[in-house]
Amino acid sequence: MDRLWYLLDLSLALPLLLNGFDAFIAALGVCVFISFSMRGYEGITFSDPDKQKASSLGSVVLSCLFGALLIRLSPWIALPTLTLTALRYFFLYRLSHESFNEEKLMLIEREPIETKKTYDRIKRVLDIVLGVAMLVLFGPVIGVIVLTSVISSGRPVFICQKRIGKDCREFEMYKFRTFETKAGKDRITRLGRFLRPLRLDELPQIINIIKGDMSLVGPRPELPSFHSLGMENIPDYPLRLLVKPGLTGWAQINYKYTTTLEEYKVKTAYDLYYVKNRSLMLDFRCLLKTPFAVFLALLRSDG
């Protein structure tokens, strides 16, 4: 199925050759990027109405964004992806009712997990390089958030939370403050209502990545209370601590926020799949599919 969609991407991008080879390559690149990041796994998308909407909404937003950025090459850059999005949403999603076994994305049975020292060294270098690049790229956004936070809700702008990292080591994780205490109760700030669904409150964790507390991709760093819950109730939970926690990860893009022990067990199975199969390619897939997870969280928060 995926190959068919990539062939359609190519076919719909071909007319952009009339605007020049650069326009064709740009349109094809946008098509392939959005195909990979926003479609997720076809079975998952087809079997879940919320994910259908998130996939379609994300595809439209990213198509328009890239179309605006590349408008000098051609005003039609976004047309192929918008056409495919409409085809999927208005026709294929209405006709297909597939089910998907999500256990293929989890590690259910205990399996040996090997060390990967070469991979770890390469990943650490990439974390530093990409972390610095992200700090530069998102610097203006961070500055705007800091200024808005000071004006709207005062100080402190940042908070530090104790989290559990690799090998059970505790560290201070940085976040933008999105809650305030009023009448003895914690309430989300107006800025927090905007930041949290988009995960922008986690931008300060770029510093944790550069410092080496975290990685770009890995299991979610847990609060000590959740860590204790996992250690006491999930037999293979310690295996997820063989790698550094991540800003995004396999469980984050494929599963929901957990509120019960049973959900936490499922989430841990996703984490263990990542630890078992970790590679630069799997990291790359997690990074590219993160926008889909953001749009899905945004959609569900609105719902």
This prediction's pTM = 0.83
| Same domain (yes/no): 193, 297 | yes
pLDDT value, residue 106: 73
More confident residue, 163 or 300: 163
Do 43 and 121 reside in the same domain of the chain? Answer: no
Which pLDDT score, from 0 to 100, does residue 39 have?
Answer: 66
Which tens digits make up the pLDDT trace of 25-70?
998 898 888 888 876 555 567 667 788 888 888 889 999 999 999 9
Residue 27 one-letter amino acid: A
**Same-domain pairing of 254 and 132:** yes
Per-residue pLDDT reduced to its tens digit, 266-297: 899 999 999 999 999 999 989 988 888 888 88
Residues 264 and 159 in one domain: yes
Average pLDDT of the residues in 153-157: 86
Nearest to 77 by CA among 35, 37, 17, 36: 17
pLDDT at 97: 61
> Do 121 and 257 belong together in one domain?
yes
Looking at the structure of the chain, the number of domains it has is 2
Q: Which helix (H) or strand (E) holds 132?
A: helix 117-137
With tokens 């990979």, the residue in question is 36
Q: Is residue 229 part of a domain?
A: yes
Looking at the structure, tell me whether residues 125 and 250 fall in a common domain.
Answer: yes
Same domain, 75 and 128: no
- Are 140 and 286 found together in one domain? yes
Q: Rounded mean pLDDT of the chain?
A: 86
What integer pLDDT is reported at residue 188 of this predicted model?
87
Q: Which of 31, 53, 55 is nearest to 41 (CA)?
A: 55
Q: What is the reported pLDDT for 99?
A: 62
Residue at which a domain ends, from 95, 120, 138: 95
Evaluate whether residue 100 is within a structural domain: no
Q: Compute the distance between CA of residue 43 and CA of residue 277 in angstroms, rounded to an integer.
A: 21
Q: Which domain holds residue 39?
A: 2-95
Coil, helix or strand at residue 275: helix
CA dihedral (89, 93, 99, 101) in degrees, to 10, reads -20
Task: Summarize pLDDT for 98-125 with one digit per residue, the tens.
Answer: 665 666 677 766 777 888 889 999 999 9
Show which of 44, 74, 95 is a domain's final residue: 95
Report the distance separating Cα 168 and Cα 166, nearest Å. 5
- Asked whether residue 76 is domain-assigned, the answer is yes
Residue 7: inside a domain: yes
Give the residue from 64, 95, 126 where a domain finishes: 95
Tell me which range, 43-47, 49-53, 179-183, 223-227, is most confidently predicted by mean pLDDT. 223-227
Pairing of strands 179-182, 215-217: unpaired
Kindly state whether residues 137 and 236 are assigned to the same domain: yes
- Residue 96's pLDDT is what? 63
The whole-number pLDDT of residue 259 equals: 78
Q: In angstroms, rounded to a whole number, what is the distance separating the alpha carbons of residues 15 and 17?
A: 5
Q: 3-state SS of the chain: helix, strand, coil percent to 5?
A: 65, 10, 25
Helix or strand (DSSP H, E) at 60: helix 49-69
Q: Are residues 227 and 297 in the same domain?
A: yes
